[in-house]
Amino acid sequence: GDFEGSMEEYEMALAIREEVFGKSHPMTAESHTEIGILLGEVEDYEEAEARHRKALRTREIVCGKESPEVAASMANVGFILNQKSDYDGALAMHRNAYAIRDKILGSRNADTRASLQSIHLNENRQREGLMDEDDEEEEEEGHSEEEYDDDEEYAEGEESGSEEEED
């Protein structure tokens, strides 16, 4: 859609909410969240993160540090950090969101399960990132995956090590 038009409306709503409710109010935090989501959609991740963090700080003050609203803001920050490939930061945010949601909403709640799914996703991406770093180190040392594919001893070692039978 029309990013500029939407952004104008969200900024206007934020200004009105700040004037009517003040800067530390759930409705003001909601405006920052809406702007953060919009900015994330157009891949302005730096500003999106700043808006989601502002919503998070406001919600911690007005809703309490262990509230569903704070968990939602943590998940939003985690999503943006994920988009920025900051998987460590994203994982920390999603773990915090999960802990709050599990404690308050229970393990069967859809938001709690979404947080758990985000944790697994970021753990996988973190592992993939570590594997990519290992590949880069091998390439810097003059080795590549293709060399290992042609190496029969390497292939045999992989096969015998991976299929151990259990009694």
Within its chain, how far is the Cα of 48 from the centroid?
A: 12
Q: How far apart are CA 43 and CA 137, in angstroms?
A: 30
CATH topology of domain 3-158: 1.25.40
pLDDT tens digits along 35-81: 999 999 999 999 999 999 999 999 999 999 999 999 999 999 999 99
- DSSP line for 145-158: HHHHHT-HHHHHHH
Within its chain, how far is the Cα of 130 from the centroid?
A: 17
Q: Residue 164 to residues 74, 159, 167: CA-CA distances in angstroms?
A: 42, 10, 10
Q: For residue 44, which of 6, 98, 96 has the smallest C-alpha distance? A: 6
pLDDT tens digits along 128-167: 877 776 666 665 555 444 433 444 333 334 333 444 444 4
